[in-house]
């Protein structure tokens, strides 16, 4: 049972490039979410999903796209990276009944130059 | 708008001293509140929830609806308590979990 996995661990992008951050969980959790962590800003919710085929915006969705085609996977897409998207990105999952107890991945550190 | 505020970015105490990490929330309903912790090189994890009213690793947190606060307390801090702590209210069961700005606790020997 791997829990929540994220790839890559580190990534450097140039402004304007696109990429996808991968997130997968093997706990059959319905609820999945993406956060970004910035110094002094804490964790901010980007997008979340309550099940396959259902996604919704969080606090800071601009510049990011998500989709949920399977229960296990919840990729985060940056279509045109900007320096303001330099951050550490965390994926998390939980059951819907206990969405307060989220299991976090190890994070992806992204730098946009 | 729902808001959660952790006024201290950094809290530094000596081992054995009491510690209180502050959290204030702004809500129209009756949220559930939680504290999460991130130790160095570890994943963010749930520390405790107000409904359970339990003590975890010596930490307790009381929900004060009148002051809309949910401060985290420990009477005698230990070096291993050094970590980043986040207060997190839950909109509604099955809904979004929103995190505060975080407080870094540093416990010095």
Please write the tens of the pLDDT for every residue from A20-75: 999 999 999 999 999 999 988 889 999 999 999 999 999 899 999 999 999 999 99
What is the DSSP code (8-state) at residue A59?
A: S
Asked if the Cβ–Cβ distance from B101 to A104 is below 8 Å, we say no
Nearest CA in chain B to A42: B101
Question: Which of A43, A50, A107, A109 to substitute to test the interface with B, most B CBs within 10 Å?
Answer: A43
Interval B77-89 mean pLDDT: 95
Nearest alpha carbon to residue B49 among B34, B38, B61:
B34
Q: Where are the alpha helices (DSSP H) in A19-70?
A: none
Please report how many Cα atoms fall inside a 13 Å half-sphere around the Cα of residue A49, on the Cβ side: 26
Contact A57, A41 (CB under 8 A): no
Cβ(B107)–Cβ(B79) under 8 Å?
yes
3-class secondary-structure state, position A84: helix
Q: Output the DSSP codes for chain B.
A: --EEE---SEEEEETTS-EEE--EEE-SS--EEEEEEE-TTS--EEEEETTT---BTTBEEEEETTTTEEEEEESS--GGG-EEEEEEEESSTTS-B-----EEEEEE-
Q: How far is A101 from chain B (nearest CA, A)?
A: 6
Q: To the nearest whole percent, how much of chain B has pLDDT over 70? A: 92
Q: What is the pLDDT of residue B52?
A: 75
For range B79-106, the mean pLDDT: 87
A25 near B CB under 8 A: no
> Tell me: the pLDDT tens digits for A69-103?
999 999 999 999 999 999 999 999 998 877 788 99
Residue B79 has pLDDT above 90, yes or no: yes
Which pLDDT belongs to residue B93? 58
How far is the alpha carbon of B36 from chain A, nearest alpha carbon, in Å?
A: 9
pLDDT given for residue B66 in this prediction: 85
Please state, in angstroms and rounded to a whole number, the distance separating the CA atoms of residues A80 and A76.
12
- Residue B65, φ and ψ in degrees, nearest 5: -65, -30
Q: What chain A residue is nearest to B49 in terms of C-alpha separation? A: A100
Q: Which residues of B touch A59 (CB under 8 A)?
A: 98
Encoded tokens for A63: 């510049």
């Amino acid at each position: 049972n791997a829990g929540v996995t994220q790839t890559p661990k580190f990534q450097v992008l140039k402004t304007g490039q696109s990429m996808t951050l991968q997130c997968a969980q093997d706990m059959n959790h319905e609820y999945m979410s993406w956060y970004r962590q910035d110094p002094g800003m804490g964790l901010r919710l980007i997008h979340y999903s309550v099940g396959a085929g259902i996604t919704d915006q969080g606090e800071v969705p601009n510049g990011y796209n998500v989709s949920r085609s399977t229960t296990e996977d919840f990729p985060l897409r940056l279509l045109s990276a900007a320096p303001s998207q330099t951050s550490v990105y965390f994926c998390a999952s939980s059951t819907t009944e206990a969405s307060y107890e989220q299991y976090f991945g190890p994070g992806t550190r992204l730098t946009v130059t | 708008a729902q808001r959660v505020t952790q006024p201290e970015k950094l809290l530094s105490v000596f081992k054995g001293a009491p510690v209180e990490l502050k959290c204030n929330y702004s809500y129209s309903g009756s949220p559930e509140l939680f504290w999460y912790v991130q130790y160095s090189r570890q994943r963010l994890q749930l520390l405790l929830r107000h409904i359970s009213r339990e003590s975890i690793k010596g930490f307790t947190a009381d929900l004060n609806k009148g002051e809309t606060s949910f401060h985290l307390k420990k009477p005698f801090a230990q070096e291993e308590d050094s970590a980043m702590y986040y207060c997190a209210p839950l909109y509604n069961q099955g809904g979004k979990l929103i995190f505060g700005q975080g407080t870094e606790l540093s416990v010095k020997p």
